[in-house]
Amino acid sequence: MGKTFIMLGIESSCDETAAAIVRDDGTVMASQIASQMDIHASHGGVVPEIAARAHLDSIDIVIAGALRDAGIGMDDIDGVAATGGPGLIGGVVVGTVTAKAIASARNLPYFAVNHLEGHALSARLVDKVAFPYLLLLVSGGHTQLLAVHGPGAYERYGTTMDDAAGEAFDKSAKIMGLGYPGGPAVEMLAAQGDARAIALPRPLKGSPHCHFSFSGLKTAVATRHAALDPDDPAGPANLAASLQAAIADCLAERSSRAMARFAETHGPSTLVIAGGVAANRVIFARLSDAAATAGFSISVPPAWLCTDNAAMIAWAALERRQQPDNLDFAPRPRWPLDPDAPPPPGRGVRA
């Protein structure tokens, strides 16, 4: 048996500065995250310039903390990985430059990791899901369905034509005065409401493709919110529950279509759900039913691995540790997993 390979992972693509130490056997030796949530809450969302400065302030601290928690020193690290995109470019640059500096100074292999690939492979860190599998990536900025054939090998079935599911939660929460981040706030309020009380659309239901659209749902929430009876104390909770149900229905209906397409070629497999929205219990239950109907098993990484973290970045690099990147890699604000996928009908494509 060869020497254990220990990877330092760095994540800084949005509003979390994170570092993790992961062994090639899947052991997460340490995972540190410095959250900027309180900093951005007063702005109702992430401010890129503020985020970049916060990453600069925190990155050395989280790396030192991860090494301390793992009980090792920098001399014990065998490789350095950092998110190279997609994301807010200021934060991506901070993580990339830091990783390159460590790799260069210590003559270590450097890995530029696609943030989306970190999510895509995260289930294999804890569940050892076999390739190929179907991935529903559902987070604040991304909603995609992809066949995952292996590291670096992705076939996109569907993506968002406008807002992602997480954006629909965040923007609707802002309309409803629930604060940021919107997903957990909507879920908490929805627990007190009736999901059948307020009619909301299910965009693209029945469409012959696997793409998503949530912009119209957000607009409908604004209209229904303006029409709420101020004397009805149940109104906000009913609207939150109805919104959550609509998003869950859209995700399940599109995922069912993707599972049918996947099964035509590969047979039933596993539906992996990754990204922050995967932590929503109603959405998970709805997708579990859809997977069972399609004959798919379902795998969802634990909540700490669904939100932005550096353990998934380290693991994605470990999946291809024999293929390091050059130090001339340039950070990318957009970096699609399947660059050859045709664009969906509509206004644009998310990386």
> Residue 195: what pLDDT?
97
Range of weakest confidence among 35-44, 110-119, 160-169, 189-198: 35-44
Q: What percent of the chain has pLDDT over 70?
A: 93
Gap between the Cα atoms of 310 and 316, Å rounded: 10
Residues 6-58 pLDDT 10s: 999 999 988 789 999 999 999 999 999 986 555 534 445 556 566 778 778 88
Its pTM stands at 0.91
Task: For residue 20, give the H/E element and its range.
Answer: strand 16-23
Domain 130-300 fold is Nucleotidyltransferase; domain 5 (3.30.420)
278: nearest Cα among 288, 269, 270, 268: 288
Residue-level pLDDT at 53: 81
Among the listed ranges 21-25, 193-197, 299-303, which one has the minimum average pLDDT value? 299-303
* Cis before 236 (ω within 30): no
pLDDT at 43: 46
**Per-residue pLDDT tens over the stretch 210-222:** 999 999 999 999 9
Q: What is the pLDDT of residue 2?
A: 63
Q: In whole angstroms, what is the distance from residue 143 CA to residue 218 CA?
A: 15
Name the fold adopted by 6-121+305-318.
Nucleotidyltransferase; domain 5 (3.30.420)
* Numbered ranges of CATH 3.30.420.40 in the chain: 6-121+305-318, 130-300
Q: Give residue-wise pLDDT tens across range 110-144.
A: 999 999 999 999 999 999 899 999 999 998 788 99
Which pLDDT does position 16 carry in this prediction? 85
CA distances 318 to 78, 118, 128, 137, Å, are 10, 11, 14, 21
* CA dist., res. 202 & res. 247, Å (int): 8
